Amino acid sequence: MTLPPEFALIARHFRPLAGAGALDLSDDAALLDPPAGRQLVLAADAMVAGVHFLPDDPPDTIGRKLLRVNLSDLAAMGAAPLGYLMTCAFPQGTDDAWIAQFVAGLAADQAEFGLTVLGGDTVGTPGPATFSLTILGTVEPGRALRRAGARPGDEVWVSGTIGDGALGLLSLTGRLPPDPHLAARYRVPAPRLALGQALSGVARAAMDVSDGLVQDLGHLARAAGCGAVIEAPSVPLSEPASAALAADPALLPRILSGGDDYELLFAADPADAGRVLAAAKAAQTPVARIGRFLDGEGVVVLDAQGAAIPLPRGGWSHFA
């Protein structure tokens, strides 16, 4: 079945995703009254088949991952979702059922996270499926979480568990045994929106972990003009990740710098630990203290004996 013409495609699949301001996706642009007394928060991410997701990933998970990696950027700023615009470049021959599933994933996540599509574009491509999503959120003016702001002595915190996404990719590509939990974490990350909002005014600095814990902590430390240390045994692992690591200790670097975590990484004054835990409880999101910021530069990972663990330089760059 070949792709229907662009306009029929939009009417059939994408119009049902449209909300207030989208003008039924039938005008040149969307119209939006910005919520009074709020600052806008804006981010955009692109995903390419074979680079950011597997070409045979279920189509509904591809739409959801695209939306969720952008929601994760809002979470990292302490923002609440407002809406999104999306462009889709579909390979020639993409069938209608594929697009219907892709859209069904978006519809489910729109309902879960409380936002709708405002606009976008649908084109054909001779290359791999390529998607781009721009997300809009809002935050109380001056209350956004920023990357800069950590101070030497601050504690390093992270939400959820680390390494599942990277191990999920290994599992989906046959380099680790199949594991539904890890695969789901790779395909459908959990943006920590409630936690991000609860940490506003509590955390001194925050970002989401997309490129790998070590590399992203390096960004947070660099933005603060300092260094950081991670205590590897404190890094929270899921049960499947723990089991995989026990079976093959050489997986540690992959866990710590493999990326695709979409957890929140943040800095807080040790005196605020109680407030951090209260925010996490309110957001029903587990958090763990995994290290601290220090004078100096760079990120060091220590093992249980306090010895530095050698890691490959940097994280996972899509250009590497």
Q: Closer CB to a copy of itself, residue 217 or residue 244?
A: 217
**Distance (Å, rounded) from C-alpha 146 to C-alpha 149?**
7
Q: Closer CB to a copy of itself, residue 45 or residue 155?
A: 45
Q: What are phi and psi of 178, to 5 degrees?
A: -55, 140
52 annotated to bind ligand: yes
Is 1 a binding residue for a copy of itself by CB under 8 A? The answer is: no
**C-beta atoms surrounding 147 within 10 Å:** 19
**Beta carbon of residue 156, minimum distance to a copy of itself (angstroms, whole number):** 17
Is 87 a binding residue for a copy of itself by CB under 8 A? The answer is: yes
Q: Is 105 left (phi over 0), alpha (psi -120 to 50) or beta?
A: alpha
> Judged by CB under 8 A, which stretch of 108-116, 117-125, 237-245, 268-276 contacts a copy of itself?
117-125
Is 162 a binding residue for a copy of itself by CB under 8 A? The answer is: no
318 annotated to bind ligand: no
Is 51 a binding residue for a copy of itself by CB under 8 A? The answer is: yes
Q: Closer CB to a copy of itself, residue 189 or residue 240?
A: 189
Residue from 1, 271, 307, 320 that binds a copy of itself (CB under 8 A)? 320
**Distance (Å, rounded) from C-alpha 142 to C-alpha 212?**
28
**C-beta atoms surrounding 274 within 10 Å:** 9
**Distance (Å, rounded) from C-alpha 228 to C-alpha 116?**
39
Residue 62 has which token pair?
């591809």
Strand partners, 57: none
**Beta carbon of residue 169, minimum distance to a copy of itself (angstroms, whole number):** 16
| 3-class DSSP state of 56 | coil
24 annotated to bind ligand: no
> Judged by CB under 8 A, which stretch of 31-39, 57-65, 268-276, 277-285 contacts a copy of itself?
31-39
Q: Closer CB to a copy of itself, residue 81 or residue 105?
A: 81
For the four alpha carbons of 80, 25, 112 and 285, in that order, the dihedral sign comes to: negative
Strand partners, 153: none
The DSSP secondary structure of 88-137, one letter per residue, reads EEEETT--HHHHHHHHHHHHHHHHHHT-EEEEEEEEEESSS-EEEEEEEE
**C-beta atoms surrounding 300 within 10 Å:** 15
Is 144 a binding residue for a copy of itself by CB under 8 A? The answer is: yes
Q: Virtual CA dihedral for 187, 190, 191, 193, nearest 10 degrees?
A: 160
Is 42 a binding residue for a copy of itself by CB under 8 A? The answer is: yes
**Beta carbon of residue 180, minimum distance to a copy of itself (angstroms, whole number):** 28
Residue from 118, 170, 195, 241 that binds a copy of itself (CB under 8 A)? 118
Q: Kind of pairing, strands 287-294 and 298-302?
A: unpaired
Q: Which of residues 282-301 bind a copy of itself (CB under 8 A)?
A: none
Residues belonging to the binding site for ATP are 120-121, 147, 210
Q: Which residues bind a copy of itself (CB under 8 A)?
A: 3-7, 9, 21, 23, 26-34, 39-48, 50-52, 73-74, 76-77, 79, 85-89, 118-121, 123-128, 130, 132, 134-137, 139, 141, 144, 146-147, 207-208, 223, 314, 317-320
Residues belonging to the binding site are 28, 45, 52, 73, 120-121, 147, 208, 210-211, 260, 316
